[in-house]
């Protein structure tokens, strides 16, 4: 009887385990997003390619080794995205809103930053408008995200 009660109790806790947010996160305009990190060459190249969807409240943060003009594209990306470019001091440089999926391979168009950037955040399309972001808006990193720029 005790074992059955313990199993039943643990089964009620399992759904809550998925609610814990111990993963990496960023915060923009008071909204927190769980993010996957792409902080090496291979991860940055793959990005969100071939994904069928991106869960609400999640995204991908690309961390570069140096601040420089960047351009991202949607090669093999199936999800419309907003692409946010941040400089080394974690201030918004520019955003490409509502970037459509692209299945043209190497012929997909680039979406460049309007100035040097070090961090790129990709979220579901529409988030930039919903947050009403503007150049200069700061992004906050959770404790697990490497800081390669100036705080």
Average pLDDT for the chain: 87
Residues 22-141: name the CATH superfamily.
Answer: Protein of unknown function DUF192 (2.60.120.1140)
- Would you say residue 92 has pLDDT above 90? yes
Residue 150 pLDDT greater than 70, yes or no: no
Report the C-alpha gap between 148 and 144 in whole angstroms.
12
Among 148, 86, 98, 151, CA closest to 128: 98
Q: What is the mean pLDDT of residues 51-61?
A: 97
Q: For 10-27, b where at least 16 C-beta lie within 10 A, e where not — what string?
A: eeeeeeeeeeeeeebbbe
pTM: 0.83
Q: Check if the beta carbon of residue 28 is closer than 8 Å to that of residue 133.
A: yes
| % residues pLDDT > 70 (the chain) | 83
The whole-angstrom separation of Cα 31 and Cα 65 is: 26
Residue 28 has pLDDT above 90, yes or no: yes
The whole-angstrom separation of Cα 115 and Cα 42 is 24
């Amino acid at each position: 009887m005790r074992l059955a009660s313990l199993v039943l109790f643990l089964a009620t806790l399992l759904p809550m385990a998925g609610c814990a947010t111990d993963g990496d996160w960023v915060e923009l305009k008071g909204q927190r997003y769980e993010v996957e990190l792409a902080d090496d060459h291979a991860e940055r190249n793959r990005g969100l390619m071939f994904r069928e969807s991106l869960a609400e409240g999640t995204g991908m943060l690309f961390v570069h080794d140096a601040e420089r003009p960047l351009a991202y594209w949607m090669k093999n990306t199936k999800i419309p995205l907003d692409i946010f470019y941040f400089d080394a001091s974690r201030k918004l440089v520019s955003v490409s809103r509502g970037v459509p999926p692209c299945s043209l391979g190497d012929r997909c168009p680039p979406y460049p930053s309007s100035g040097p950037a070090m961090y790129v955040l990709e979220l579901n399309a529409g988030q930039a408008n919903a947050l009403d972001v503007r150049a200069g808006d700061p992004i906050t990193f959770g404790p697990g995200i490497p800081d390669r720029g100036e705080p």
